[in-house]
Amino acid sequence: MPGPHTLQSATEAEGPYAFMPTALEIGGLLAPGPTSPEEADAMPSQATAPGRQLQRRAVTRTGSGRRSDAGESLVSVQEMVQEVQASAHPGLVEVLKNYTYVGMADPTCVLLQHGTRLYAANVPVLLQDLAYQQVLIGFGEFDRIHLDPPLCLSSLLQIALEDDQKPLEGREPECCLQLITKRADMLADHFAIDITPDGCLASLPALLDTSMPSPLGLPSFILALACTVDWFHERPCFRAVAEALAALFGQHTMLEEEGTPAPTQTLPTQGLPFASHDWQMQHQLLPLLRARLVPDKLRARDGTVQELTRLEQLYRVFERC
């Protein structure tokens, strides 16, 4: 059996079936020849990949967390779930399901082997996609990540405005924050985002189990709630909140810096052992993606997952040397 950091030979990986197209090629968006986005869009639509359906998860709730069954009945949420299923890419599902871990190319990119092909995958983008999907399938039934102490919304928004200098389209920051606080009950019931009466962020939904959002992303998260959410129309509102949460959870704590802390170091905000980047990527984040992500067909052509080389191509290079 090959180790986690070795490439399998062509014979071991595919044997007599080496001539067959890859999973991505079968999926129809990374064909052996060049395929333009227009040609890809014209191909027959793929159904959701077998064995990879979005399903509402059972949640055992403890403490004083709220619970809402709205996700079962809200048509808009079900329609967004169906959109994710309709855009699933079976080839990418196959790669993520049956990959061999090779290693990390950089703090955000991993190398995966599938058959005789070597792929590079952008983990933050895939985590963001997974977080968005988890918002939809766990709608109204989240456990909570409690923030102690709660964080002032006004201060978070001010930090975001100073860092990003993004305009609020002529609106005053306090007016935007008032819109958020007025929807506190909805945010708490549907998204486990608790806002205290004095305007502080007290909790976030526990979307990705072992994956914790970066505290550095909280100002941008509040800015997104203040600027991008259409609070007056249900489906655009839910989509924007889900996208804001997805962007936050895509910024995993281990992806913030290139340096790798010592294995015995702890995160002061979490109190959890901080393993090496490579170990955490291999044993926590990638298994999470393997088990739950329904990858979008867009990720097969926007550079999120891309083929780097094929072992048979390397053999031809060696033969010429």
Domain count, the chain: 2
Q: 192 with 283, same domain?
A: no
Tell me if residue 179 falls in helix, strand or coil.
Answer: helix
Q: Which of 246, 300, 230, 272 is nearest to 25 (CA)?
A: 300
Does residue 93 sit within a domain? Answer: yes
Total H helices, total E strands in the chain: 15, 7
Tell me if residue 200 falls in helix, strand or coil.
Answer: strand
Q: 130 with 16, same domain?
A: yes
Q: 128 with 14, same domain?
A: yes
Residue range of the domain that includes 66: 10-138+269-320
pLDDT, mean of each 10-residue run, the chain (321 residues): 39 39 46 38 42 50 45 78 94 93 91 93 94 95 93 92 66 80 95 96 89 86 91 93 95 54 37 61 92 94 91 61 58
* Size of the chain in residues: 321
Amino acid at 270: Q
Q: 103 with 200, same domain?
A: no
Sign for the pseudo-dihedral over CA of 253, 259, 263, 264: negative
pLDDT of 319: 57
Q: 34 with 132, same domain?
A: yes
Q: 88 with 190, same domain?
A: no
Q: 129 with 152, same domain?
A: no
Q: 49 with 67, same domain?
A: yes
Q: 18 with 119, same domain?
A: yes
Q: Would you tell me how many other CB atoms lie within 10 Å of the CB of residue 318?
A: 7
Does residue 258 sit within a domain? Answer: no
Does residue 37 sit within a domain? Answer: yes
- State the Cα–Cα distance between residues 240 and 242, nearest whole angstrom: 5
Does residue 260 sit within a domain? Answer: no
| The domain boundary residue, chosen from 251, 281, 312 | 251
Does residue 72 sit within a domain? Answer: yes
Q: Which of 132, 138, 99, 113 is nearest to 296 (CA)?
A: 132
Contact status, residue 263 vs residue 273, Cβ threshold 8 Å: yes
Q: 185 with 241, same domain?
A: yes
192-201 long-range contacts, Cβ below 8 Å, gap at least 24?
A: 192/65, 192/66, 192/142, 192/143, 192/144, 193/241, 194/144, 195/153, 196/150, 199/152, 199/153, 199/154, 200/149, 200/150, 200/151, 200/152, 200/153, 201/147, 201/150, 201/151, 201/152, 201/153, 201/156
Q: 127 with 150, same domain?
A: no
Q: 298 with 229, same domain?
A: no
